[in-house]
Structure 1
Amino acid sequence: MATVLDEIVAHKQTEVKAARARVTVEVLESQISNAPPVRCFRSALAADPRPGLIAEVKKASPSAGIIREDFEPVAIAQQYQQSGAHCLSVLTDEKYFQGHLDFLRAIRAAVDIPVMRKEFIIDRYQILEARAAGADCVLLIAECLNNEQLNDLYQFAHSLGMETLIELYEPQNLPRVLATGAKLVGINNRDLRNFQTTLEHTFHLLEQIPSDVLLVSESGIRTHDD
């Protein structure tokens, strides 16, 4: 039986094909030559002795529906920065999260902290889009990618000077994530197959993370107590 994640990945394949027909790789590469310099995502998180905070700009989700009716992405991003966020995560998926790559582009021009494209990335083309829009980092989701894809997309992003946050939910995916050489790894507390969340999930995997890897606990963190 197909999961929500399966449905999203299938849609992304169609979406990327359509995007390639609208904007060629050559055009994106030209735009990248004029993109702002990359800001270091990992360093921004590690600089503060307190836990680093990635604040998310998100209008909606499949599990929560509309999160903010009065959604002003740039204003939200600026407020996050003023409130002490170290980095920003910007949802760009249109169908399921009501995001847009234009949100990222506008936010990147309006803030001074690093910005990550949060997307279901399955193709190099999406990484080119991200860098052309000014993204400093991209999210790669282990559950969406086989080993060849994961390694290829990781290497490709870094060849553009970008960083990657590689996310996993399933514990069995941790060895192959670490095998890429990734130094920024996220444990998603939300199972993308059914969107159920438990904060304990990060702690179950914490001891398996090498000391030179910066760990990000993702999803379900809503309050200071969390």
Structure 2
Amino acid sequence: MNILDKIIERKRQEVKDSKSKISVEQLKDSEFFNRETFSLKETIKTKSGIIAEYKRQSPSKGIINNQISPLEVTSAYEKFGASAISILTDKDFFGGSFNDILSVRNHIQIPILRKDFMIDEYQFYEAKSIGADVILLIAACLSPQQVSEFTDLAHQLNLEVLLEIHTEEELKHINKNIDFVGINNRNLKDFKVDLQHSVNLKNQLPENILSIAESGIYNEEDFRFLKEKGFDGFLMGEYFMKNENPGNKFREFVSNVTI
């Protein structure tokens, strides 16, 4: 069993437990459920194009940075031009929680991506209830039919959809309603990074679909390479979070790559 299989197995139990404690109707009564969402489709064009991530840890890297608060980091990301904020809500493998989004939602005026492993309709109501604007669908753990159904549900809840793929086989998960296709530079099964593989996949995407390069962007050269190849956005977390002050690192990075 690879790490993705382990995560999904644990996620199924987690969702089952959550359903037994809080109903969908209770989620609909939450503070943020009926708020007007922010659109990443708009901010990805008007700001840096970077979806800057708050990420404490990962299965491949262990603890990255668990000493700085979500609000301090995300406020700096927004101040210095992030198009959106990505926040991990998986607890067991990434050290995240719903509170990481809840604690910043009233302070951030750009989209928030709930980054998690979405395998059940219930999770979309959760995402809406905590103030997310965008959700992630990972093709590696969903069927094309599930992607289609989940996309429809997300849109009913006014949530935008980022579909993540990594292989040619997963191109079939793309449908006309998807808002963005993210190409993960890192293989979730063995964590190897290959930027050229992502470029090859991008060249096979449908025309006019917004593309996001995800993960494994370790320096300004990687960013420029992917931008020159036509990616519209860039999801980056570890590069900033591994620094003592992620906000300052983000500011320096944006300043250097936009010269």
1:16 aligned to 2:15?
yes
With normalisation by structure 2, the TM-score equals 0.82
Residue type of the alignment partner of 1:73: P
1:173 aligned to 2:170?
yes
Residue type of the alignment partner of 1:214: L
* 1:141-156 superposed matches below 5 A: 141-156=138-153
Q: Report deviation, 1:147.
A: 2.2
Query: Could you report, residue by residue, the CA deviation over 1:162-202 in whole angstroms, capped at 9, with x for unpaired residues?
Result: 1010101121111222x253131100011111112122222
1:112 aligned to 2:109?
yes
- Structure 2 CA distance for partners of 1:167 and 1:34, relative to 1, 3 Å: closer
Number of residue equivalences: 222
Residue in structure 1 matching 2:194, options 190, 194, 198: 198
The alignment yields a C-alpha RMSD, in angstroms, of 1.5
* 1:1-226 superposed matches below 5 A: 2-31=1-30, 34-48=33-47, 52-177=49-174, 179-226=175-222
Q: Report deviation, 1:109.
A: 1.5
- Distance (whole Å) between structure 1 residues aligned to residue 39 and residue 217 of structure 2: 23
Q: Report deviation, 1:43.
A: 1.5
Gaps of 5+ in 2: 223-259
Gaps of 5+ in 1: none
Identity of aligned residues (%): 36
Query: Could you report, residue by residue, the CA deviation over 1:78-109 in whole angstroms, capped at 9, with x for unpaired residues?
Result: 11111211111100000000001110112222
Q: Report deviation, 1:18.
A: 0.1
Higher RCO (CA < 8 A, seq sep 6+): 2
Q: Note if contact 2:144-2:172 (Cα within 8 Å) is conserved in structure 1.
A: no
With normalisation by structure 1, the TM-score equals 0.93
Q: Note if contact 2:161-2:180 (Cα within 8 Å) is conserved in structure 1.
A: yes
- Distance (whole Å) between structure 1 residues aligned to residue 87 and residue 33 of structure 2: 21
- Distance (whole Å) between structure 1 residues aligned to residue 140 and residue 43 of structure 2: 26
Give the SS at the match of 1:37. coil
Q: Could you list the runs of 4 or more consecutive aligned residues of structure 1 that deviate by over 6 angstroms after TM superposition?
A: none
- Distance (whole Å) between structure 2 residues aligned to residue 209 and residue 120 of structure 1: 23
